[in-house]
Structure 1
Amino acid sequence: MDLSKESLLNLSWSDLSWFQQTNTVLSEETALPYFCQMGNPFYDRSSLNERFYMNNLTTEAMMNASGIEYIVMQKQNPVLFIIRKQYRESLNEARPLQEYYILAPGHIYQAPDAASVISHRLLTAVHHFGKAFDEASQKAAYHPSSGYYWKTNSSSDELAKKDSSKEKILTQTQRIRFDTIFYSFRDHFRPRAPVGATAQNSIASATTNNDAVGTTNGTSGGSGDNNLPRKEERTPSDSQSITSERPMIEVKKQKTQK
């Protein structure tokens, strides 16, 4: 029966009818003959044990031969028996290959090696860690008034009560954090006036400044209201010239009449 190592790790075999046929129970004497049955997928038919049973060889002849053999390695009568598969090279040299468990009343399992045990436990730990992190990420929550908390049945009720209340109490850290974010966003997103509006405003401000300069230069002494209409001012010399011209005109008129 050609089975891979991975499939044998997930396989178990038992033939409890063999004990009824032989009228025996699982013990140290029957554990190895029970394991070396033809229907057992863990048993190699080309082993020295098969030659021993088929050819009725002695134990000394099997110990001096080279090949695969099965022996009872450890026992805990009548619950547990450990069968070792090993390659015998000489009388005193044997290289272990695999071990098997026989559990009462007669179930046989293949013992995993150290690499399989470590890889399986690592995969199991990673799987449970992943589930734990997923569960924690779903339970973690944040609320502005209460901060971070874990979602439970009681916490959801308390949060609903806090939301229904009108007064929200903020901590000093939350206030400082809000002020920092608010002012930075206000400076960054400050509204700006359109380009055309800024040009018109600059032209209008320039014209008003020119008018103001003209009115201040036209007035003497810079006093009085600039909005009032200006009156013509005459100097004393101008008034004297006007009065001196009038009698000369009257003299000319009298001469013409004569």
Structure 2
Amino acid sequence: MDLSKESLLNLNWSDLSWFQHFNTELSEETALAYFCQIGNPFYDRSSLNEQIYTRNLPVEAMLNATGIEYALIHRQDPVLYIIRKHFREGPNELRPLQEYYILAPGHIYQAPDAASVISHRLLTAVHHFGKAFDEASQRAAYHPSSGYYWKTNNSSDELIKKDSSKDKALTNTQRIRFDTIFHNYHERFRPRIPAGTTTQTAIPPSTTNNETTAIAGGDTNLPRKEERTPSDSQSTTSERPMIEVKKQKTQK
């Protein structure tokens, strides 16, 4: 059976009828024989163990042979037995290839390597992080009057009703933001007065209401005040004492 490495990691094989056929249980003596069955997808039929079983050779014959070999390396009666697959290159030269777990009552699993464990845990962490970010993005909400807030299952409808009110006062944060933005735009788009131009003088406060309304309306045909010459001003000032003298004579 040709199976890929990924499929073997997700595979579980067992043949509990084997124990009933031989009237035995899973133990240290039967663990390796139970693993080395033809129907086991984890078992390589070209191994040295298969040659010994088919040719009925002693176990010592594998010491000087070269090839794939299966051996029991650890046991924890009666629940766990570990079988190692290694390549024998001589009597004392063994190169480990893979390990397998046998769990009671007879389920066999392939032990993953370090790269598979790390990659699986990284993929699991990334999956949960992405799920958490998706959940957080759905819970986050924003309203111009109240800013950002988190929606919950119990208070989401109430927050939406409260935030929908138009007469709600602005918060301190929103006032600061508005003042900052308004100041920046005011500095950027301030009207520039070209150099050399004369500015208009302000209207004196002694002007009448008619003059101010006419100026606001753009009417330039206003009645002008009569201009007085220096001679006219002297004549008026000289006439005042004479009038006062006449008044004093009449009173006498």
Q: How far has the Cα of 1:165 moved from its partner?
A: 5.9
**Aligned mates of 1:14, 1:32 — CA distance in 2:** 13
Unpaired runs of 5+ residues, structure 1, are 191-207, 223-258
Q: Structure 2 counterpart of 1:151, which letter?
A: K
Q: Does 1:50 align with 2:50?
A: yes
SS in structure 2 of the partner of residue 141 of structure 1: strand
Q: How far has the Cα of 1:181 moved from its partner?
A: 3.1
Q: Deviations over 1:86-115 (max 9, x none)?
A: 001111110000111111111111111111
Q: Does 1:174 align with 2:174?
A: yes
Aligned ranges 1:1-258 → 2 under 5 Å = 1-160=1-160, 162-163=162-163, 168-182=168-182, 221=229
Q: How far has the Cα of 1:17 moved from its partner?
A: 0.4
Q: Structure 1 counterpart of 2:98, which letter?
A: Q
Q: Structure 2 counterpart of 1:35, which letter?
A: F
Measured at CA, do residues 220 and 150 of structure 1 come closer, stay the same or move farther in structure 2, by a change above 3 Å?
Answer: closer
SS in structure 2 of the partner of residue 126 of structure 1: helix
SS in structure 2 of the partner of residue 28 of structure 1: coil
Q: Structure 1 counterpart of 2:31, which letter?
A: A
**Aligned mates of 1:104, 1:57 — CA distance in 2:** 29
**Aligned mates of 1:154, 1:2 — CA distance in 2:** 55
Q: How far has the Cα of 1:13 moved from its partner?
A: 1.0
SS in structure 2 of the partner of residue 13 of structure 1: coil
| Percentage of matched positions with identical amino acids | 76
Q: CA RMSD in A?
A: 3.2
Instruction: Decide which moves more: 38-47 or 181-190.
Output: 181-190
Q: Structure 2 counterpart of 1:103, which letter?
A: L
Unpaired runs of 5+ residues, structure 2, are 191-218, 231-252
SS in structure 1 of the partner of residue 141 of structure 2: strand
Measured at CA, do residues 137 and 94 of structure 1 come closer, stay the same or move farther in structure 2, by a change above 3 Å?
Answer: same
Q: How far has the Cα of 1:65 moved from its partner?
A: 1.2
CA contact (8 A) 2:143 2:163 kept: no
Measured at CA, do residues 122 and 34 of structure 1 come closer, stay the same or move farther in structure 2, by a change above 3 Å?
Answer: same
**Aligned mates of 1:153, 1:27 — CA distance in 2:** 55
**Aligned mates of 2:152, 2:33 — CA distance in 1:** 60
Residue matched to 2:236: none
Q: Larger radius of gyration, structure 1 or 2?
A: 1
Q: Deviations over 1:24-80 (max 9, x none)?
A: 001110000000011111111111111111112222221221111100111111111
Measured at CA, do residues 137 and 20 of structure 1 come closer, stay the same or move farther in structure 2, by a change above 3 Å?
Answer: same
Q: How far has the Cα of 1:175 moved from its partner?
A: 1.1
CA contact (8 A) 2:146 2:171 kept: no
**Aligned mates of 1:2, 1:157 — CA distance in 2:** 58
